[in-house]
Structures are given as structure tokens and as C-alpha cells.
Structure 1
Amino acid sequence: MLYSLSRPPARPRLTRSVGPFFFFLLFRCPFHARNSSPPQLTRAPAAVPAVFRAELFAAIKEGRSTNDPVRIDAMEPQVFKALLCFVYTDSLTEMKQEEEATMCQHLLVAADTYDMERLKLICEHKLCKHIDVGTVANILAIAEAHRCHVLRSACFAFLGRKANLTAVMDSDGFEHLNASCPSLVKELLAMHSMT
């Protein structure tokens, strides 16, 4: 089933008051985010990402206790908190406007890692609104790495204007894009040589 980015499929919300999430019990197994202390949690998640389930079953298969913490070191605590908030409430936490683009980039990566397609689509949609000369190179690299075709197309549309591409080519972000995705840079330059 294909979903529109403008209206992701809705799921019923459990609650808005979910509290802090740096510690979370899932089938009685605690998850700790890096540099966090374990606050209390009283609600069950609306949907358990398959990767979390796989981690739990791997721990059981390896003979580890389900009471042993499963460490998640690949993301910042505030990103993990937002990810868990989404798992529990099916909505994103409130973000300051100036932090939204960065947080959505991190959440998109986490959503792809944990196979949370709805969260990935929501982040992709929000990032489309943050494309500008200062962000487009990084957003395009993320879109390419995580197979976000709509976001990639939005970046290409922005860079399709010669003035935008010229401004971006003078930025550090373009150097990063060239180093991480040289084929994208070639595609962009070929697109402009045709016009």
C-alpha cells in the first residue's frame, strides 16, 4: 500500500501523557539510551518495532536474562526519547522550529534503522519543508542513503534552479555530499549541463 506524504495513515493514539522515555520496558526488558538514567514507565507501546523484538529474542536466544539492559548507543538520548514517544503515542514530540530539521534528520535515520515506515514518511514530509541552501546537501545525502525518493526529488527540484546549485556548491555541505555521494553530484552537474 502506498501512502501519501501529506497524510500518513493514522493509528489510534494511546495517550498524550507518556513521560520521560530513556528507560523502557518491553516484554520486561529494559532499554537504556546512552548517558541516561532510568525513569519510570507505566504504559505499553502501541506498536513494537520489529528490530526491538529481534533484539529481545536475540538476548533470550543467547541466554541473557530479559532483565539485562539492551544498550542503544547509536543515537542521542533526545532522539531515542522522540522515537519512543512516537512508538507510544503515534505522534512526534513538540520541537522548536529551529531544531525540527536536525531532529527529523536523526529520526529519519532511526526510523529507517528500526523499520518504522510511518515515522520515516512523517520525517521525510517535514524535511521537505526545510530544504534551503544551508540544508539541502545534508538532506540529499540522507535521502539517498535511506531510500527516501520523495525527499530526494524535492532536493533535486530545489537544486534544479541554477542559482541554488551555485550557492550550494560554495558550501561545506557540498563537499560532504561530493565525498559521500559522488554519483549524486555527477547527476546534478549532468542535469545542469543539459539546461
Structure 2
Amino acid sequence: MRRPLQTRSESSADRMLAATLALLDEGGPGAVTVAAVARAAGTSNGSLYHRFGDRHGLLLAAQARALGTIELETATAFAEADTEPDDEQAVALLAAAAVDLFVRHRGSLRAFLVDAADSEEVQAASTAFTHRLAGTVTGWLEQRFSCGVPAAQSAWRLLFALGASRALFEDDAISPTPLASGALADALGRAVLAVVR
């Protein structure tokens, strides 16, 4: 008999986290209120408080979900790149994946890497996340291209800077001439190759 309750509870928690991430995408952290999340998830305020404790607990859980999803998608992109024997094609795949990830997860990245800087817990989790990504990217570049740590770290910083700008700004705010994601990924791939070769 308890199994259905747990399933409903997990489903309710999933809906609350999905609603939180959708609200972050639409309006940033200010849009995430207990009432707005409960309404969007079709649950009650009390259910949210019971599951997450408070708004801060909800944001921490949403951060864990969002950053975990990004890490999983990053691992998938690297696994695909590992199967590509051509170095240029492998880097092109990764550049396209990076641009796509930063655009698709724009709201979460902005909320958890920039806007929520007033929470030490959020900052610590975000820093750990970026360091894990840095380790993944630099480790792969060092192995694939037998490049040194400075070159791999420079390439990572290039990727992260471009990705961060995609998360923070709409393309037309950066340049009067919008750049299609494909063209951006191509240029990024060439830049990374130039740094590590």
C-alpha cells in the first residue's frame, strides 16, 4: 500500500522540480516562489514545504537536478566524441554540444552560476560543478591531443567563456549580427583546436 504513496510523492517532487526549472527559464530566481511552484506543479504549498523544507531547499534540489542533467549530457557528448577517430570532427561534435547545452540550460545556468550568488551553498555547488566540467574537458583534451595543462585549461576557459556568454546574453545583445549556433560551434571548434595543437 505504501508503494503508490511513494510513487505519487516522487512524482509530485519531480513536478515541483520541473516547475522550478521552468520558472527559472522564464523569469529567473525571482519567479520562483513557493506559491508559483506549487501552482505550476499542481501541488500545495504544504507539500512543497514537506518535501523541500523551504524555497532555499527547493532551489538546492533544482540546482542538483539541473547541473546533474548537464553533467550527464556532457558525458554523453564526450562518449560520442570518443568514438570519432578524426580529431577535428570530435572537437566539432563537442563544440556543438557545448553551445547547445549552454543555450538549452540558459535559465538554470544563469540562476545557479550568477543570480544565486547570495547563497554560499549554491555557490559551493556551482563551483564544484564548474571544476568537474573543467576536469572532464581538460583531461579529454590532454589525452586526445597530448597537450599540456596550460593549453587544455586555456581551451576550457575559451569554451566556458563562450558558453557563459550564451547563458547570460541573447545573441543580439552581444553583436549586431546574430551568429547561428552551427557557425558559432564551427568557429569554437577551430579555436579550441588552435589552442591545443
Superposition TM-score tier, normalisation by shorter sequence: 0.3 to 0.5
TM-score (norm 1): 0.32
In terms of fraction of residues, the more strand-rich structure is 1
Q: TM-score, normalised by structure 2?
A: 0.32
- When you count helix as a share of all residues, which structure comes out higher? 2
Structure number with higher relative contact order (C-alpha < 8 Å, ≥ 6 residues apart):
2
